């Protein structure tokens, strides 16, 4: 999403490996100039917190980059031009884009550009939780933690507590605990 969502392209992130997620968060904090405070395996509810922190960071990155694209000039090679050039030819917004390119009247052209900008949307940042990858987590004293701290449930909690407004994909089987855990979060109600 950090590379394509600002151009309106949807993507799906796998929430399997929280160590990789934490490494990616560290990398993107450096790229964005944000302070990075590690979330270690010694921290309480570290898996969910890592996922939430990374998804929130991606959300900020995409929103920032999208606003930059949206405010760029309509000229050859610009990001906003890339955005519209990548749309399918059947898209109504692409039709308006082509009309704007051929418009001769400067006021009409400016009006069409404003309409185009108002219709732009960033790509979604959806997530995938593999339901069967749901190992039990253990506390510092090596005793099993409650089922809410298992991999799949912690991933769902991390997603639900993030700032994203997107879709979650539950793949790779049935996990009744996970499916019933969904009702704990108001985000998943109609």
pLDDT in tens, 99-115: 999 999 999 999 999 99
Residue 158: HSE in the Cβ half-sphere, 13 Å Cα cutoff: 32
Q: What is the percent of the chain with per-residue pLDDT over 70, rounded to a whole number?
A: 99
CA separation for the pair 61, 96 (Å, rounded): 28
Average pLDDT, the chain: 91
pLDDT of residue 12: 96
Tens digits of residue pLDDT in 156-171: 999 999 999 999 998 8
Tens digits of residue pLDDT in 55-94: 999 999 999 999 999 999 999 999 999 999 999 999 999 9
pLDDT of residue 156: 92
Dihedrals phi, psi of 114, to nearest 5 degrees:
-65, -40
Dihedrals phi, psi of 99, to nearest 5 degrees:
-65, -40
CA separation for the pair 181, 157 (Å, rounded): 9
The whole model's pTM is what? Answer: 0.89
CA separation for the pair 32, 39 (Å, rounded): 18
Q: How far apart are the first and last CA of the chain?
A: 26
User: Is 119's pLDDT higher than 90?
Assistant: yes
Strand order from edge to edge, sheet including 125-130: 11-14, 125-130, 168-171
């Amino acid at each position: 999403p950090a590379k394509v969502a600002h151009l309106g392209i949807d993507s799906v992130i796998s929430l399997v490996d929280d160590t990789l997620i934490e490494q990616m968060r560290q990398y993107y904090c450096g790229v964005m100039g944000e302070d990075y405070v590690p979330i270690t395996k010694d921290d309480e509810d570290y898996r969910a917190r890592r996922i939430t922190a990374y998804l929130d960071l991606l959300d900020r990155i995409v929103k920032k980059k999208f606003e930059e694209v949206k405010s760029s000039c309509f000229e050859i090679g610009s990001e906003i031009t890339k955005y519209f050039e990548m749309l399918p030819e059947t898209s109504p917004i692409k039709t308006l884009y082509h009309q704007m390119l051929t418009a001769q009247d400067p006021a009409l052209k400016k009006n069409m550009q404003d309409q185009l900008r108002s219709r732009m949307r960033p790509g979604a940042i959806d997530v995938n939780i593999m339901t069967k990858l749901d190992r039990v987590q253990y506390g510092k004293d090596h005793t099993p933690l409650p089922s809410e701290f298992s991999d799949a449930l912690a991933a769902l909690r991390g997603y639900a507590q993030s700032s994203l407004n997107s879709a979650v994909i539950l793949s790779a089987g049935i996990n009744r605990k996970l499916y019933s855990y969904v009702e704990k979060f108001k985000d998943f109600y109609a």
